[in-house]
Structures are given as structure tokens and as C-alpha cells.
Homo-oligomer: A and B are copies of this chain.
Amino acid sequence: MKIAIQGIKGSYHHEVAGNIFGDNIELLECDNFSEIPPLLVNKKADKAVMAIENTIAGAILPNYALIDEYKLQICGEYYLPIHHQLLALKGQSLDDIKEIRSHPMALEQCRKFFRDYPQIKLIEEKDTAKVAKEIQEKQQFGIAAIASKIATKIYDLEIIADEIQTNKANYTRFVIIAVKNGNTPENYNKASIKFRLNHETGSLLEILQIFKDNDLNMSKIQSLPIVEKPWEYAFFVDVIFDSPKQFENTIEKVRNHVNELKILGKYRSNKLI
């Protein structure tokens, strides 16, 4: 099975791909999220794993746009609890570290830990695992990466500080995406939808009333102005329900009240561990 991910071996995307599909996968490493959809469309990848939401920045809307634009579907989700480690070349301790390089979000998630080490310089890099790889390849003493436990093994580094994330309950939500084929998992109980509404007091209220009347529980809502149409808004909504039938019936009622409705995916909810 060929799985496209953002980042390289040892990244959090890799960790999620392994947790879902096991070790027997071929990994297609992408530099950017936007490289992923063409791999699916051109059948070079069977599925892809993509971060879609975290507890600090909220939803990653450009990734929703990619799913929409390339007519892909969300076929599953995965909540990865955030566990950050500080990795460095073996034989070093925290006192040896002069610089920490990582993704801005990882640096942000460990902000409180760094307050105790004001002498360490923080450098933003694009890829958590790439920093780990470079530390090993270029034998960079004095530099540490914030990365996953699998990066420790892959790049033969040492954990010099464990669980350094500020909020121990943080997580990142990933989605599994594939080309749209009409197949949905049996007994799906969650869906991601996008719809457009006129900017009128109460237009969203109508939709939420339909959800409530049909016992659909909303687990996420986000509005986005539509620049080409100043009086319309797009809404990205996730709903949870008991049965596919309940969802399908409800969505038919919603369809009459919105300007456009797209179903980005129907899948099994992966509750937080």
C-alpha cells in the first residue's frame, strides 16, 4: 500500500500512517501539503494522511480546500496525542544545547518548557523530522530537534528531554484521504461537510435547528468569507450521529436551505484516546 504523507520518515505524519496502516507500507514523502492530491489523482498513492486540525491553531483550512479542489474524500480520521521529545546526538545533555530547531507549531506547543532555558536559541524550520535527520547526517553537536519517538530510532539520536509539550492533553487530528469512489465505511457515524449561506441574520440558525431536530451533534464549525461573493459565507462543519440513515435524511433537509452543499467525507469517528 502506497501512502502519501507530508514530511519525511520519522515525522508525525509517518507515525500516524504507521499506526493506521502498519509497517508494511510504501511511504511517499511530500514537501508540501499541495503535493499530496496530485499523487492520489494520478494513482501514484493509494491513500494519504494529512493533518487537518490541532488544539492551538484550529482547522487547517487550506487542506480542506485541497480536498475540495481535487475532488478527494475523507475516509477516516485519527487523533494523535502530542508527545514532543528533545532529540540530539548521543552523549549530550540539555546543558550542551545552544539551538533548538523545529516547526513553529511544535515550538509553540513547548513554549513553557523553553522559558527555563532562555540561553537556548529557537529556530523555526519547516519539518520536525528533517531537523533530526540533519543533526545525524551533519553531526551537529549543540543542536536539538523537537520530534517524535520514531524519529529517535530512525535517525539514531538520544532523547535528552521527554514530554516537553506544555499541555499534556494536546492532540493533532489527521484525516485519511483518497480519490472519491463512492465507497463509504459501513456504519459511518461522522461526516465533514461544507456549505454556503447568504450572510443574513438567522440563516445559520435554520441549519443548526435541522441538526438539532435530527439529533446530529456538531463537533466543529468554522466560517470563511467567500471573497468572490461578499454576501456569502462558507461553513466547514463536522457532525456526529448514530446511523448513516439519520445523516442522509438530515442532509436532504439541509440541502434545501443552503446555496451549495458538499460532502467532504463520511467515516467512522476515531474518539480521542
- A contact set with B: CB distance below 8 Å: 34, 55-62, 65, 108, 111, 124, 126, 167, 169-171, 199-202, 204-205, 208-209, 211-212, 215-225, 227-228, 230, 272
Bound complex: CA A219 to CA B224 (Å): 9
Contact A201 B217 (CB under 8 A): yes
Taking the closest CB of chain B, its distance from the CB of A32, in whole angstroms, is: 8
Q: A167-B227, A167-B228, A204-B218 are in contact. Are A61 and B57 (CB under 8 A)?
A: yes
Contacts of A126 in B (CB 8 A): 124
- Could you name 19 residue pairs across A and B whose Cβ atoms are closer than 8 Å? A55-B227, A58-B58, A58-B59, A58-B224, A169-B228, A200-B217, A201-B211, A201-B215, A201-B216, A202-B212, A204-B221, A205-B205, A205-B208, A205-B209, A218-B223, A220-B225, A221-B221, A221-B222, A221-B223
Taking the closest CB of chain B, its distance from the CB of A103, in whole angstroms, is: 12
Counting every copy of the chain, the complex holds: 2
Contacts of A58 in B (CB 8 A): 58-59, 61, 222, 224
Taking the closest CB of chain B, its distance from the CB of A89, in whole angstroms, is: 26
Bound complex: CA A194 to CA B62 (Å): 24
Bound complex: CA A111 to CA B35 (Å): 12
Q: Which residue, A34, A57, A124, A211, has most C-beta atoms of chain B within 10 A?
A: A57
Contacts of A216 in B (CB 8 A): 201
> What residue of chain B has the Cβ atom nearest to residue A107's Cβ?
B32
Contacts of A228 in B (CB 8 A): 167, 169
Contact B57 A62 (CB under 8 A): yes
The 4 A-B pairs with the shortest beta carbon distances in the complex, nearest first, are A169-B227, A202-B212, A205-B208, A58-B61
Q: Which residue, A34, A208, A228, A272, has most C-beta atoms of chain B within 10 A?
A: A208
> What residue of chain B has the Cβ atom nearest to residue A204's Cβ?
B208
Contacts of A124 in B (CB 8 A): 126
Contact A227 B57 (CB under 8 A): no
Bound complex: CA A60 to CA B57 (Å): 7
Contact A199 B227 (CB under 8 A): no
